[in-house]
Structures are given as structure tokens and as C-alpha cells.
Amino acid sequence: MSGGDPAGRLVRPFTLTGGRTRPSRADFTLITTVTAVDPQPETLTRPQPEHTRILRQCAEPVAVAELAARLDLPVSVVVILLCDLLEAGRITVRPPCPVTRTTPDLNLLQKVRDGLGRL
């Protein structure tokens, strides 16, 4: 965590979002999976370069945190851009497994345990 911008970005992150600092919807978590719609919908407006970068990165399903790391952008910025893409019908979204203390999913836990056991 050095000062300045080690990534050498030419623009400050929130310039990419048109100055927006809050997403238009709150359903993107760090481990929400996003996938580009294939084929992309035909629209008159072409996606902006940053949107295109995201679409390229999520041709295969990818979690929001991973996407942000690959794009070298803060998660909060990526989420705002993802909202645009979702509203434009360019991506699909899969929320993470719901986790509650009151009704734990034993099958899910057993599956995680089995998977870890194979490591």
C-alpha cells in the first residue's frame, strides 16, 4: 500500500463511473458471480471502453472481487459499472449461497468439507 497510484492509472477511478460513488442497486457482493451475455444484445449505444473491458473478463463466470483484481480497479467502482451492464442486459448475475445461522445448509457444509478433504 504505497502512496500515489502504483498502477499508474491515467484517470482517477471514479471518473470511470461519471462521478457516481454509489451503485444503483445493492445486490453485488464480493463473491457474486457475473457472466457476460452471449451473444450481446444489439443496441444503438455501444458500451464504453471500461464496460467492454469488464465484458471481456467475464466471458466465463467470474466473482466480483476477482474481476476487480484483474481490472486493477476498486470493487466499489467495478460494482457501479456492473450495474450499468446489468441494466443494459449485457451480463447475468448469480448471488452467493445464502448463509444463515438459524437454518444452516448441512448439504452445502458437507460438500465444502468433502472438497477441502480432497486438497
Partner 1 sequence: MALAGSDAPDTVKILIAGGFGVGKTTMVGSVSEIVPLRTEEPLTTAGLDVDDLDGIEQKRSTTVALDFGRITIADDLVLYLFGTPGQQRFWFMWNDLALGALGAVVLVDVRRPRSSFAAIDFFERRDIPFVVAANGFHGEHPYPVEDIREALALPEAVPVLLCDARERASCRDVLIALIDLLIAEAAPVGR
Interface residues with partner 1 (CB under 8 A) are 1, 3-5, 13, 21, 27, 29-35, 37, 61, 63, 65-66, 68-70, 74-76, 86, 89, 91-94, 96-99, 101, 104, 106, 108-117, 119
Residue 50 C-alpha cell reads as 471500461
Q: How far is the CB of 5 from partner 1 (least distance, A)?
A: 7
- C-beta of 3 vs 18, nearer to partner 1: 3
Helix (H) or strand (E) holding 116: helix 106-117
CA distance readout (Å), 25 to 15, 29, 50, 80, 90: 19, 11, 19, 8, 16
